[in-house]
Chain A
Amino acid sequence: MSNLFLLTKREIQERLSQRGFWYMLVLGPVVVLLLLIGLLKAADQGKQELNVLIADPGQIMSHRLMAQEEQQIHYFFIDDYLELSEFEKGKAYQEFDVLLELNEKVLNNKKCFVFFRDQLGLDARMQLKFQVERRMEELIAAQHSNLTEQAFRQIKQGFIFDFRDLQDPKNESKEANAWAGFILGAFVLFFVALYSMTIFRATVREKSNRIVEVLLASVKPSQLMLSKILGIGFIAVLQLLGWILLLGFGFWLLQETIFLDIFDPSNWGQDAPERLNPLSALVFEQLPFASLIVHFLLFFVASFLFYGALFAVLGARSSAEADGQQFLFPLLFLVSFGLFSGIYAIYFPSSTLTEILGFLPFSSPVLVLIALAKGLGIAAYTNVLLSLIILLVCAFSLLGLGAGWYRKSILKF
Chain B
Amino acid sequence: MIQIAEVSKSYNRKLVLDAVSMEVNKGHIFGLLGPNGAGKTTLIRILNQILYPDGGQIYFEGKLLEPVHLRQIGYLPEERGLYKTMTVRAHLLFLAQLRGLSKTEATKNVDHWLQHFDIQGWQLKRISMLSKGMAQKVQFIAALVHQPKLLILDEPLSGFDPLNVELIMNEIKALKEQGTTIILSTHNMKSVDEVCDYAALLHNGKVLAQDAVQQLRRAHSKGLIEVRFKGNMLSFANALWTDFTLLSQKELEEGFFECTLQSRGGRKLNDLMRSLQEHVQVEHLSQIQPSMQEVFIDLISQKAAQNV
Contacts and interface: CB of A to CB of B under 8 A. Distances in A.
A378 interface: no
B98 A6 contact: yes
B95 interface: yes
B241 interface: no
B94 A10 contact: yes
Contacts, number: 61
Interface in A11-41: 14, 17-18
> What are the nearest 8 A-B pairs in CB distance?
A209-B81, A210-B81, A211-B81, A210-B79, A218-B98, A217-B48, A213-B77, A217-B75
B84 interface: yes
A323 B77 CA distance: 25
The interface centre, meaning the residue of A206, A209, A211, A216 with most chain B CB atoms within 10 A of its CB, is A211
A219 interface: yes
B83 A213 contact: no
Interface of B: 45, 48-51, 70, 73, 75, 77, 79-86, 94-95, 97-99, 102-103, 139, 142
Given A17-B85, A214-B142, A6 B79 contact: no
B50 A217 contact: yes
Given A6-B97, A211-B83, A217-B73, 14 more contacts: A1-B102, A10-B94, A209-B81, A210-B81, A214-B80, A214-B81, A214-B139, A216-B48, A216-B50, A217-B49, A218-B95, A218-B99, A411-B50, A413-B79
A3 B70 CA distance: 13
A215 interface: yes
A338 B161 CA distance: 56
Main DSSP-derived SS at the B contact region = loop
Given A213-B50, A214-B75, A1 B85 contact: no
A211 B80 CA distance: 6
Contact of B70 (A10, A212, A214, A218): A218
19 contacts: A1-B102, A6-B94, A6-B98, A10-B94, A14-B83, A206-B81, A209-B82, A210-B79, A210-B81, A211-B81, A211-B82, A213-B45, A214-B80, A214-B139, A215-B98, A217-B48, A217-B70, A218-B99, A411-B45
Contacts of B99: 218
Interface string A372-413: 000000000000000000000000000000000000000101
B77 A210 contact: yes
Contacts of A10: 83, 86, 94
Interface in A212-243: 212-219
A362 to B, nearest CB: 33
A135 to B, nearest CB: 67
Nearest to B75: A217
Contacts of A3: 98
A257 to B, nearest CB: 40
Nearest to B84: A209
A10 B82 CA distance: 13
